[in-house]
Chain A
Amino acid sequence: MTETAIVNGLTIIFISLGVIFSLVTALGLIRLPDVYTRSHASSKSATLGVLGILAGTFIYFWLAEGHMNSRLILAIIFLFVTSPLSGHLIGRSAYISGVQPTDLTEHDALKQVIAEKKRKQ
């Protein structure tokens, strides 16, 4: 009785954490001003959101159904490695193809470097 309560509690905590973070990511994509700040939201909160949902699913099937699914663990590890990488690549390609950061941006160390590189080509 208490065991199922603990299992259900853990599952609820993990999955609701994941859902909340995913929701906040979506809100962030609407509210933040430019590509770079949006990529902050999408590369961090989204990772944790999906991670939480996968971990919750894993815990539920492992403890409540007695079925340990190692694919979920693999999926968590893959996500962990690939999602900050995709955030970096999107930001980088946006910058190189000339997408301007918002006017709020105070200081830009990369501008000259990219300009220099373009001039050389």
Chain B
Amino acid sequence: MAFQILLNFFLALVWMFMSVSFTSATFIIGYLLGLFLLILMRRFFNERLYLFRIWAVISLFFLFMKELFLSSVQVFLLILKPRMNIRPAIFEYDTVLKYDWEITLLSLLITLTPGTLVLAVSDDQKKLYIHAIDADDIDDAVKSIQDTFEKAILEVSRT
């Protein structure tokens, strides 16, 4: 992915040298032309086109925002309830992610999901210990972590 971006920059630079005008407008035109060339040549790269990965990162960011807002509203309602009958629990969660940055990102996302907070990561980095504020929600939480977060992170790291 980094190689493709670098190549695109390089092509834009070549375009600037070819048209002997060193302004940001020329750079942008050259960048777009280079992007078009990369799209034409996509079959020679080992990885996917980098645009897909950038799109995955952007959708992950919006997921982040949405979850933060939802979880804040949930905590809001919980705190303002006159009778607080919460049932906290700590449960294990098996993750399929391998790299350190993926696990860090997943923990950040889980911490911002409604009602869950990562307490510890096991030594072999295969299990996350998660504190849930309501034991009824555990199944829902596990499902939403698997379906949305892990999938979104895998989508970013897929080659």
Binding site for B on A (CB under 8 A): 21, 24, 27-28, 31-34, 36-37, 39-41, 43-45, 47-48, 51, 80-81, 84-85, 87-88, 91-92, 95-96, 101-102, 104-111, 113
Contact = CB atoms under 8 A, between A and B. Distances in A.
Nearest to A96: B120
A36 B89 CA distance: 10
A102 B117 CA distance: 16
Query: Chain A CB within 10 Å — which of B64, B86, B122, B135 has the most?
Result: B86
A91 B117 contact: yes
Nearest to A107: B89
A107 B135 contact: yes
A36 B87 CA distance: 12
A48 B68 contact: yes
A37 to B, nearest CB: 6
Given A36-B131, A87-B111, A28 B89 contact: no
Given A45-B75, A91-B131, A106 B108 contact: no
Contacts, number: 109
Nearest to A82: B108
A26 to B, nearest CB: 10
Interface in B70-105: 71-72, 75-76, 78-80, 84, 86-92
Given A40-B131, A91-B117, A106-B87, 17 more contacts: A31-B79, A32-B84, A33-B86, A36-B88, A39-B117, A44-B111, A44-B112, A45-B75, A51-B68, A84-B111, A87-B111, A91-B119, A102-B88, A104-B87, A105-B88, A109-B91, A113-B120
11 contacts: A21-B72, A28-B75, A43-B117, A44-B111, A48-B72, A92-B119, A92-B120, A101-B88, A107-B90, A109-B129, A111-B90
Contact of B129 (A32, A87, A110): A110
A108 B89 CA distance: 6
A101 B129 CA distance: 14
B118 interface: yes
B115 interface: yes
Contacts of A81: 108
Q: Which 8 A-B pairs have the closest CB atoms?
A: A84-B111, A48-B72, A107-B89, A28-B79, A110-B129, A109-B92, A106-B89, A106-B135
